[in-house]
Structure 1
Amino acid sequence: MATAQQIKTGYIDYVLTHDEQPKSVYSFVKKLKITESEFYQFYASFEGIEKMIWADLTIDTIDTIRQQEVWTQYSSRDRMLSFFYSYVEVLKKQRSFIVYSLKQPGAKFSTPTVLSGVKPIFENFAEELISEGVESGELADRKFLTKRYKDALWIQFAFIINFWVNDDSTGFEKTDEAIEKGINVTFDLFQRSALDNLFDYGKFLSRNSRFTEKMRK
């Protein structure tokens, strides 16, 4: 009886050996010595396998970092940094496949086909961190903008993964630097700033215009 892991492992081995997808499900399952019905029990297509691989890597990373003893002591910023540092370490173990997957035709971050299953997983994770950060006062709660924070973090996700794929530095040290600078800049923008204070002051003056009018007379 075939298993999802057997099919996934067989698929990764095939594409890395041939640098392309199998010609058909029929030829692929014949090589694995399983039936087509066994394949379709777990996956609807080869694209489905790739999407599941990415989703599993993302879920496993999130589950692993949440089990760290220091997790509860981390700020939202530190938790997001921990995710990306850990995610890159996980991706390293399958770098050949990751590079293959992202460099296929149509696998662009503007329309990330292989990452379509990852996006909702990552955004749910990001929204959780953002909500906790807003509640603790770490992050600014801005009307209309707070709900867009996750979009900024998804852009960082796409940038960091693409940067890592093309990183040729020793130990991918440039990717570590990209993570640190990118996430810190993004979270700096999420925090309260002088502009927020100025905006609040403007609202205060607007609400109390009758007092300022008296002062002018």
Structure 2
Amino acid sequence: MASTGKKKKIDREFIIAAYMNYVLEHDGYPKTVYKFCKDIKVSEEDFYKFFGSLDGLDKNIWSTFFTTTANAMHKNEQFEHFSSRDKMLTLFYTLFEMLTLNRSYVLFALKRYDMPLKNMTQLKGLRSHIKEFAGELIETDNDEKTSRLVKNPVAVFSEGAWLQFLFLLNFWMSDESPSFEKTDVAIEKSVNTIFDLFDNTPLNNVLDFGKFLWKEKIMSN
């Protein structure tokens, strides 16, 4: 007799979701691809269609956070007409909403090893995505400037955007405010500050941001 059950679709999204659930439910990571596939009832062949290793899967999860965020942003028909500042704000707001939806996994993954730098290796793909996004924004702004003297260095801006994300990520991890409202404030202030720096606006904005960070640091200790 033929089965009437609906066959589950094995794709990247299915494996990623199963992996994240596995990590949280087992309070740890699978030792081998074989063990992981056996537990989620898929073949190793299916796994290797999408990922070359468990480490590769770890990194791909963070890249997927970004691509899902980017897809959500571009569904807004007005997004392409946003200023570079608003595009960066939208990226960070949406990305941290994505991280919040997966907060349990994110916090667990970022505390996997005792050495913080080792935990950062899984963010390699995400780093490339954020730097590329920021670089494209500054290149667009530079194209609108007639003098080379007022054009901003793409490499500096893109690396700054990545360091900015790392700061915000650390802030968000320790944020205990309702709906992570303080993280939203930090995003707004940090993005406005970095754009103000490139636009040579008064130092008051930078000082204001510094006071905010100092206050939040004191309050969290």
TMscore range, shorter length:
0.7 to 0.9
3-state SS of paired residue (2:49): helix
Deviation at 1:111, TM superposition (A): 6.9
> Whole-Å Cα distance in 2 between the matches of residues 110 and 132 of structure 1?
34
Distance 1:62 1:35 in 2: 31
Contact kept, 8 Å, 2:168 with 2:186, in 1: the verdict is yes
| Letter paired with 2:33 | V
Deviations 1:26-82 (A, max 9, x none): 221111222222222221222211211111110121232133233233211111011
Which residue of structure 2 lines up, in the alignment, with residue 201 of structure 1? none
Match of 2:94?
86
Q: How many residues align?
A: 191
> Residue in 1 aligned with 2:187?
179
Per-residue CA deviations over 1:131-162 (Å, capped at 9, x if unaligned) read: 1122234x9414xx443111111100111122
Q: Does 1:159 align with 2:164?
A: no
Q: Which amino acid aligns with 2:151?
A: D
Q: Which residue of structure 2 lines up, in the alignment, with residue 120 of structure 1?
A: 128
Matched-pair contact (CA < 8 Å) for 1:58–1:118:
yes
Alignment partner of 1:188 out of 196, 202, 205? 196
> Which residue of the other structure, out of 43, 58, 66, is the alignment partner of 1:58?
66
Any unmatched runs of 5+ in structure 1? 195-217
Q: Would the alpha carbon gap of residues 70 and 183 (structure 1) be closer, same or farther in structure 2, given more than 3 Å must change?
A: same
Question: Separation in 2 of the partners of 1:93 and 1:72?
Answer: 25
Give 1:32's aligned residue. 40
Q: Which of 31, 53, 60 is the equivalent residue of 1:23?
A: 31
Q: Which residue of structure 2 aligns with residue 207 of structure 1?
A: none
Please name the residue that 2:155 is paired with.
Answer: 147
TM-score by length of 2: 0.78
CA distance in 2, matches of 1:126, 1:186: 12
Q: What SS class does the counterpart of residue 76 from structure 2 fall into?
A: coil
Give CA-to-partner distance per residue, 1:5-41, whole Å, 9 cap, x none: 2222221111001221012222211112222222222
Q: Output the aligned Cα RMSD.
A: 2.3
The question of 1:4 aligning with 2:48 is answered no
Q: For residue 44 of structure 1, give the secondary structure of its aligned residue in structure 2.
A: coil
Q: Which runs of 5+ in 2 are unaligned?
A: 1-8, 203-221
Distance 1:160 1:140, change over 3 A: farther
Partner SS state of residue 150, structure 1: helix
Partners of 2:16 and 2:57 within 8 A in 1: yes
Identical positions, percent: 37
Matched, 1:101 2:109: yes
SS of 2:196 mapped into structure 1: helix
Q: TM-score by structure 1 length?
A: 0.79
C-alpha distance in 2 between matches for 1:110 and 1:141: 36
Alpha-carbon offset, residue 180 of structure 1: 0.9
8 A contact 2:168–2:187 mirrored in 1: yes
Q: Compare CA radii of gyration and give the structure with the larger one.
A: 1
Measured in 2, the distance between the counterparts of 1:83 and 1:3 equals 26
Return the structure number with greater relative CO, CA threshold 8 A, min gap 6: 1
How big is the shift at 1:99?
Answer: 1.0
Alignment of 1:67 onto 2:75: yes
Supply the distance in 2 between the matched residues of 1:50 and 1:126 (Cα, whole angstroms): 24
Distance 2:150 2:118 in 1: 28
Quick check: 1:54–1:114 contact (8 Å CA) kept in 2?
Answer: yes
